[in-house]
A and B are shown apart, each in its own frame.
Chain A
Amino acid sequence: MTEKAALKLASAAALAAGLGACATTPPPTEQLAAARAMVSQAQPVAASDGALELHTARTKLARAEEAMRRGDHLNARIFAEQAEVDAKYAWTVAENARAQRAAAELDRGIRTLRDELERGTR
């Protein structure tokens, strides 16, 4: 699902919730904290790889904070939960890319090493 579609869906949830009942939803303090923590964790590694995923997470976190300020707890919760998994996904994408680069560097190093050895014999 694209970011836009996800946002639209969550907004729809917000509208539906806005019709009543959500006054009873407890403030999603924990979910917001978890989302903030995961976005902070992903931020430094995902700035280049996983940038798009991180952007989605940050957008949703901002919406969660906004909803929280309005006292719209249900929306705050929905956006916070999504922001957290999106940030975590961004983190895993970025870490994967990093690990791949490290492996590629080692591969190159070993190839150089073998070349040197071959040259050494002649």
Chain B
Amino acid sequence: MKPWTTAVRPFAFSLAALMAAGCAMTPQTNNSLESARSTYRLAQADPQVQLRAPVELQLAERSLAQAERSWKDGAEPAIVGHHANLAEQRARIAMKMADLKAQQTERGWVVTLRSELLFDSGRASLKPGAEKALENLAQLMKRQPEREITIEGFTDSTGSEELNRRLSEQRAQAVKQALVARGIEAHRIDARGYGPAFPVASNDTPTGRQLNRRVEVVIAPEPRTSSAGGATGR
């Protein structure tokens, strides 16, 4: 843990100069430093911060190391305080940045549509009644231009597995086409059919089978590349 030496050299000169000038006071304690230590420890102990804001955390660590060093060297309390403030603020930035990235990258949604709402039994063409819901979904996607969606079709286990798989695929494709027709870019939408795989309920009862006949719309988290703008590094 030595990389800060190069970064702080210019300031070390001024510190040395200060001390040479005879500002010799040796305070017993430094509140700013105490506060910076505990805020840094908080950030450092959080695995989310380590994972998502390593650059900010490292900057905080450097500032804290410098504060500790100037403290040990008996620098002016105000100078120690300055570095401690930088360290504390950077630790807070690291924690906020981790929150931000978690929000931007990790949240996704699943909307489950029951097949009966969208399709007649055994068919893959959308019912007129599905109109409004698809329009809403399209509007939602327009307001979230960064997000991609996956449309997954499922059936119950009645009948041929291969036919079911194909039906579920055609239904997913029909939903995709409806969204494309409403102005959503085709490349943002992935459509697949899984047939009777991944049931959410028992296929032994009518209610269970009804729950299994479904289309799931998975709204993906925002892509990582769009997160945090240009203010992360430095």
Residues of A within 8 A of B (CB): 1, 6, 9-10, 12-13, 15-17, 19-22, 24-26, 34, 38, 41-42, 74, 77-78, 81-82, 85-86, 88-89, 91-93, 95-96, 99-100, 102-103, 105-107, 109-110, 112-114, 116-117, 120-121
Contacts and interface: CB of A to CB of B under 8 A. Distances in A.
Given A13-B78, A78-B82, 13 more contacts: A9-B82, A22-B17, A25-B13, A25-B14, A41-B230, A81-B86, A82-B85, A82-B86, A91-B229, A100-B103, A103-B103, A105-B143, A113-B136
B90 A85 contact: yes
Interface stretch (B43-51, B125-133, B155-163, B168-176): B125-133
Given A1-B85, A109-B140, A96 B103 contact: yes
Contacts of B88: 1
Nearest to B88: A1
B32 interface: yes
Contacts of A26: 10, 13
B78 A116 contact: no
Contact of A24 (B13, B129, B130): B13
B109 A10 contact: no
Given A10-B78, A81-B86, A116-B136, A25 B17 contact: yes
Interface of B: 10-11, 13-14, 17-18, 20-23, 32, 35, 76-79, 81-82, 85-86, 88-90, 92-93, 96-97, 99-100, 103-104, 107, 109, 111, 113-114, 116-117, 129-130, 132-133, 136-137, 139-140, 143-144, 219, 228-231, 234
Contact of B100 (A6, A81, A95, A107): A95
B231 A38 contact: yes
Contact of B114 (A81, A82, A85, A121): A121
From A42, A77, A110, residue with most partner B Cβ within 10 Å: A110
Q: In terms of DSSP, what is the predominant structure of the interface of chain A?
A: helix
A81 B87 CA distance: 11
A115 B159 CA distance: 31
Contact of B93 (A15, A92, A113): A92
A79 B143 CA distance: 41
B143 A109 contact: yes
From A6, A13, A93, A114, residue with most partner B Cβ within 10 Å: A13
Contact of B14 (A38, A74, A91, A106): A74
Contacts of A12: 77-78, 81
Contacts of A107: 109
Per CB-CB distance, the 5 closest pairs between chain A and chain B, nearest first, are A13-B78, A21-B21, A20-B21, A92-B96, A21-B17
A93 B96 contact: yes
A34 B233 CA distance: 12
B111 A114 contact: yes
Contact of B96 (A21, A42, A96, A110): A96
Contact of A89 (B96, B103, B129): B96
Given A88-B231, A89-B89, A89-B92, A13 B76 contact: yes
A93 B78 CA distance: 27
Nearest to B77: A12
Nearest to B137: A113
